[in-house]
Amino acid sequence: MSSLTVAGLTKAFTSTPVLSGVELHVPGGSFTALLGPSGCGKTTLLRLIAGFDDPDSGTIALGDRIVAGAGRSVAARSRGIGFVPQEGGLFPHLTVAGNISFGLPRRQRNDGGRVRELLALVGLDAGLADRSPHQLSGGQQQRVALARALAPEPSLVLLDEPFSSLDAALREETRAAVSRALTASGATTVLVTHDQAEALSMADQVAVLRGGRLVQLTDPRTLYRRPGDLDVAAFVGEAVVLDAELRDGLAHCLLGALPYEQTAGVAVAEGPARVLLRPEQLRLSVPGPAAAVARVRSVDFYGHDSRVWLDLVGGPTVTARLDGADLPSAGDDVCITVRGTALAFPVPHPTPVAAGAPLG
């Protein structure tokens, strides 16, 4: 296992900049997710790291070894980086065993023991070794692709949206198997995804990419609780964003006077501001004199929990996440209380974002 350090990386395709000055450090043995909307440059970054393309400027280093930039370009085949593409990319003319042993030295290619070992590592039955790729399910193909990438014992494994083509049930199962295999192999892992739940649940650290730049690099909990700005906040989860007035250590907004905190590195002065709450912080109760009043617009019932759409009096629509059986109905008037603290952000310039709607 070795660390990955990316510094000042830029790349443009026919004068359209895709990456502009990306800085990223992935510690050895860790699992990092590259999270961003489609078109943010995350796949390009992955291809540069793998060595399929060359950066315009900046450097990529594996441990202490510079593999791209600073006048060097180590070929993809000499980087020792495992790559798992989106749909698995299994070679259709080779069996499962042929695929897995593709990157092994010639002498080990016919060693059935090694193939069985790798199949076991990704949680597949050894009986699949002689199958053709088209006889496997999508999840099995992904696991074989991972086994193939892990076979030459790479120091770094890159996964390019490996679960996006799987249906929901298979995705969970495949994710768990892949996580186990990667932990067991001890390889440093970089996963590209646009699915925030996947990034938050699988990774040790999440790098958020936006418009060709790295906007935040931190662990999943911090990312969710203290996002660097409101866009990141909305991207990594549902958000309730309200206009507020910061005064006397409290944020005064439509939901009352709330205790607030600030994200590290984002200073907010007293006065007009925006505050972020998560829908699960909102609690509903029968109307009383003290708390904020809202009217229930509609309820999305999911079984394990529900989302309640609330029209605030004289203000925007916000959502609350509620568990339990005691749900309001559309048209009910309810009181809203807030658990925990709000997160304050400066008022964006020039026009404020439409508040309250879940943007994630």
Partner 1 sequence: MTLALAVAVAALALLPLGYIAWYTADIGWSGIQELVLRPRVAELLWNTTRLVVGTVICCAVLGVGAAWLVQRSSVPARRVWHVLLVAPLAVPAFVNSYAWISLLPGLDTYAGALLVVTLSYFPFVYLPVAATFRGLDPALEETARGLGLSGWAVFRRVQLPQLRVALLGGSLLVALHLLAEFGALQMLRYPTFTTAIYDQYRATFNGPGATMLAGVLVLLCLVLLLAELRLRGRRGYARTGAGAARPVRPVRLGAFTVPATAALAALVGLALVVPLASLAYWMAVGASSGLAGTTLLTTTGTTLALASAAAALTTAMALPTGWLAVRARGRIPTLLERSTYLGSAVPGIVVALALVTLSVRATPWLYQTVPVLLAAYAILFLPRAIVPVRSAVEQLPPLYDDVAASLGSSAPDRLRRITLPLLAPGIGAGAALVFLAVVTELTATLLLAPTGTTTLATAFWSASSALEYGAAAPYAVVMVLLSAPATVLLSRDPHGAIATDAPRGLTT
**193-221: b or e for each residue (b if 16 or more CB lie within 10 Å)?**
bbebebbbebbebbbbbbebebbbbbebe
Binding region for partner 1 (CB under 8 A): 47, 50-52, 75-83, 85, 89, 91-93, 102-103, 148-149, 151-152
CA distances from 180 to 31, 79, 92, 101 (A): 12, 24, 26, 21
Instruction: For residue 279, say if its preceding peptide bond is cis, omega within 30 degrees of 0.
Output: no
Nearest-angstrom CA–CA distance, 117 and 126: 8
* Residue 133 phi, psi (nearest 5): -55, -35
Nearest-angstrom CA–CA distance, 112 and 329: 62
* Ramachandran sector of residue 347 (left: φ over 0; alpha: ψ -120 to 50; beta: rest): beta
CB 94 to partner 1: min, Å: 8
Q: Which is nearer to partner 1, 94 or 120 (CB)?
A: 94
CB 280 to partner 1: min, Å: 41
Q: Which is nearer to partner 1, 125 or 153 (CB)?
A: 153
Q: Which is nearer to partner 1, 144 or 273 (CB)?
A: 144
Nearest-angstrom CA–CA distance, 83 and 70: 24
Q: Which is nearer to partner 1, 82 or 220 (CB)?
A: 82
Beta carbons within 10 angstroms of residue 265's beta carbon: 7
54: Cα separation from own chain's centroid: 25
Q: Which is nearer to partner 1, 59 or 86 (CB)?
A: 86
* 310-315 CB contacts, 8 Å cutoff, 24+ apart: 310/282, 310/334, 310/336, 312/254, 312/255, 312/356, 313/254, 314/254, 315/242, 315/254, 315/355, 315/356
Q: Which is nearer to partner 1, 92 or 288 (CB)?
A: 92
Nearest-angstrom CA–CA distance, 88 and 165: 10
CB 103 to partner 1: min, Å: 3
Could you tell me the two tokens for 222? 């911090």
The residue behind tokens 């501001």 is 273
Q: Which is nearer to partner 1, 101 or 319 (CB)?
A: 101
CB 166 to partner 1: min, Å: 18
Q: Which is nearer to partner 1, 63 or 89 (CB)?
A: 89
Nearest to 278 by CA among 192, 188, 358: 358
CA angle 207, 214, 7 (to 5 degrees): 100
CB 76 to partner 1: min, Å: 4
CA distances from 299 to 4, 59, 234 (A): 46, 50, 21
Q: Which is nearer to partner 1, 142 or 205 (CB)?
A: 142
Q: Which is nearer to partner 1, 149 or 268 (CB)?
A: 149
Nearest to 295 by CA among 267, 281, 275, 316: 316
CB 243 to partner 1: min, Å: 48
CB 20 to partner 1: min, Å: 24
